[in-house]
Amino acid sequence: MKKLINSADSVVEDALNGMAAAHPSLRVRDRVVYRADGPRPGKVGLVSGGGSGHEPLHAGFVGHGMLDAACPGEVFTSPVPDQIIDATNAVDGGAGVLHIVKNYTGDVLNFEMAAELADGVEVVSVLVDDDVAVQDSLYTAGRRGTGATLFVEKMAGALAEEGAPLNEVAAVATEVNERSRSFGIALSSCTVPAAGKPTFDLPETDVELGIGIHGEPGRARVPMVSARELAGVAMEAIHSDLPLQGDLLVMVNGMGGTPLMELYVVFAEVAAFVKGKGARVARSLVGNYVTSLEMQGFSVTVCRLDDRLTRLWDAPVETPGLRWGR
Amino acid sequence: MKKLINSADSVVEDALNGMAAAHPSLRVRDRVVYRADGPRPGKVGLVSGGGSGHEPLHAGFVGHGMLDAACPGEVFTSPVPDQIIDATNAVDGGAGVLHIVKNYTGDVLNFEMAAELADGVEVVSVLVDDDVAVQDSLYTAGRRGTGATLFVEKMAGALAEEGAPLNEVAAVATEVNERSRSFGIALSSCTVPAAGKPTFDLPETDVELGIGIHGEPGRARVPMVSARELAGVAMEAIHSDLPLQGDLLVMVNGMGGTPLMELYVVFAEVAAFVKGKGARVARSLVGNYVTSLEMQGFSVTVCRLDDRLTRLWDAPVETPGLRWGR
């Protein structure tokens, strides 16, 4: 294992120190990453979190128009309730707090406990479960939450920034999740620093179809084929679950170890597939956003847009990982 | 070799199709990536280019406040003069064109030829040679051009956007290069699709200090050590060449296959080093910007800022790879 770390024990702490040093817009305190300019009175607070190793998710999405706080756990490990309680109390501006929770058993339990124990704060939780690959998985009852988390955080964050009340922000988060589907494919495994060896073994000739973001098994292991064929597998899986139609937001996401050049090759195939179904790529994102350490591979996430969701997607955002103004 | 490609022959073409599909702000024509809204009469045009495989450099930096066109060659191969001539003619808005050229022999020759053959366009070329690792290298007489290319493109692009004349834009490009230094370290090799095997061999226990962005040898091959020690090696190499003082722009750049979490670990160490020398990280960038396919490792690039350069760095930019407005 060759990793740019000081020790397996300190990797999350050290990375958070780096984030704090790089981004004056963030404050890191007791393993929670906050917007330095929050909380804003009357604004719904957004809190998310999960295991580390998926950067920029979640801490890289803290900022104007997205999250108010992120709770990073150890690598591929749920944050503990104390972190989430601290974050929830701290970001409440009097309008309540939305928890955005990826559907993994540990995350769900710890966010639930934190919601109960938060200090008189009104909390609504939204579960993200967009991954169509498998029904149940290694750490999950029901579908896993993956790429759509970014979409939920972005669009619910934009609505909260506009001053919408908690029930509306929660409703749009739920809607975005319901309109989104993902499918991932791994070309390689990855190594959790504390484990020191690859999470799973994948022969040099094979790929894992429907991989989870912690290396959970997918649908099948098959010999490597072209980018066109792999994109086709991912898109067919998505399309058969939620038919592609109308305007779509499409993300081709790198797992962490795949060159951007290759992600663009995949995006070209995904865009051609979408066109072939008579739908339209109205908005897109290509890059490393929901990663699994140095895993090679990609995932596709598709969301069916309407006018309101398009507006929320386009709204200004100012975070380390996603940044634009229109 | 497992890569997300359709064939080694079509990888650059396919990736450019993906870029065009993902970014309506770009136009791709005859292997050149243009701003869709250019050229602007009276604005100096900025053209850069080089081998593919370093994405988002250069095509990902085409847009408002940065490049007007990028000429991608085959993977790790210089663009041909015809591409550069086309780009130069097309982006000239009557105020001349700046060529930003990384110091590799093939790039230098082909940009020189294109500058001579461009259709009555006034061209000034600026060479980027910021890598302190080695004096001469596999493809280079003199120092190699690496991370500072992004700084040059950003700051010269901002000045051109303000309407400055060609000589001033060229002067600031030269100044940014002179004020910048880089050093890179590889944890792994990478595989050029057409070659099908790793560019060089690196034992599982070792790292290459002073690696080039095409896998050119550096200063030494040593056993893997901690992120703190590796950051120290890179920063000492830079500091001994150009003492760290005053306000600095600091980029910790991933080579393509390194998790963002680890780049933040490195950034924390780099920031501590800078502080220890009595200098200040005034601006920073952490992520994959000047990559070498799926190579694991990082480079650090430091630029000594002054008020004008800080203003040019902060100026709005709207490209696929770098995007902000203030």
Mutate to test the interface with B, among A1, A209, A261, A322 (most CBs of B within 10 A): A261
- Report pLDDT for A139: 84
Catalytically active residues of A are: 54, 214
Which of B131, B149, B179 is the last residue before a domain boundary? B179
Nearest CA in chain A to B266: A4
**CB-nearest partner of B18 from A2, A268, A294:** A268
B14 vs A227: CB contact, 8 Å cut-off? yes
Q: Average the pLDDT over A113-136 and give the result.
A: 95
Nearest CA in chain B to A284: B22
**CB-nearest partner of A262 from B3, B258, B323:** B3
Are A100 and A172 in the same domain? yes
Q: Average the pLDDT over A141-164 and give the result.
A: 97
Are A44 and A74 in the same domain? yes
Q: Average the pLDDT over A257-279 and give the result.
A: 98
Nearest CA in chain A to B318: A324
- Report pLDDT for B326: 59
Q: What is the 3-state secondary structure (H, E, C) of chain A?
A: CCCCCCCCCCHHHHHHHHHHHHCCCEEEECCEEEECCCCCCCCCEEEEEEEECCCCCCHHHECECCECEEEEEEECCCCCHHHHHHHHHHHCCCCCEEEEEECCHHHHHHHHHHHHHCCCCCEEEEEECCECCCCCECCECCCCCCCHHHHHHHHHHHHHHCCCCHHHHHHHHHHHHHCEEEEEEECCCCECCCCCCECCCCCCCEEEECCCCCCCCCCEEEECCCHHHHHHHHHHHHHHHCCCCCEEEEEEEECCCCCHHHHHHHHHHHHHHHHHCCCEEEEEEEECCCCCCCCCEEEEEEEECCHHHHHHHHCCEECCCCEECC
Tell me if A194 is assigned to some domain: yes
**pLDDT mean values, one per 10 residues, chain B (326 residues):** 96 98 98 95 98 98 98 98 98 97 98 95 98 89 96 98 98 98 98 96 96 94 98 98 98 98 98 98 98 98 98 97 88
Structural domains of chain A, count: 2
Would the pLDDT of A105 be above 70? yes
- Report pLDDT for B138: 83
Are A29 and A136 in the same domain? yes
Nearest CA in chain B to A283: B22
Which of B179, B197, B212 is the last residue before a domain boundary? B179
Are B100 and B189 in the same domain? no
Which of B127, B148, B179 is the last residue before a domain boundary? B179
- Digit-coded pLDDT (tens) for A186-234: 999 999 999 999 999 999 999 999 999 999 999 999 999 999 999 999 9
Tell me if A326 is assigned to some domain: no
A225 interaction partners in chain B (CB closer than 8 Å): none
A17 interaction partners in chain B (CB closer than 8 Å): 264, 268
- Digit-coded pLDDT (tens) for B11-26: 999 999 999 999 999 9
A52 interaction partners in chain B (CB closer than 8 Å): 261
**CB-nearest partner of A55 from B207, B259, B268:** B259
* CATH at residue A145: 3.40.50.10440
Tell me if B137 is assigned to some domain: yes
Tell me if A324 is assigned to some domain: no
What phi, psi does A11 have (nearest 5°)? -65, -40
A262 interaction partners in chain B (CB closer than 8 Å): 3-5, 11, 15
- Digit-coded pLDDT (tens) for A49-62: 999 999 999 999 99
Q: Count contacts between A and B (CB, < 8 Å).
A: 193
Mutate to test the interface with A, among B5, B251, B265, B323 (most CBs of A within 10 A): B265
- Report pLDDT for B264: 98
Domain that holds residue B83: 11-179
**DSSP type of residue B63:** S
Tell me if B4 is assigned to some domain: no
Tell me if B325 is assigned to some domain: no
* CATH at residue B247: 3.30.1180.20
- Report pLDDT for A46: 98
Q: How far is A201 from chain B (nearest CA, A)?
A: 15
Would the pLDDT of A83 be above 70? yes
A257 vs B296: CB contact, 8 Å cut-off? yes
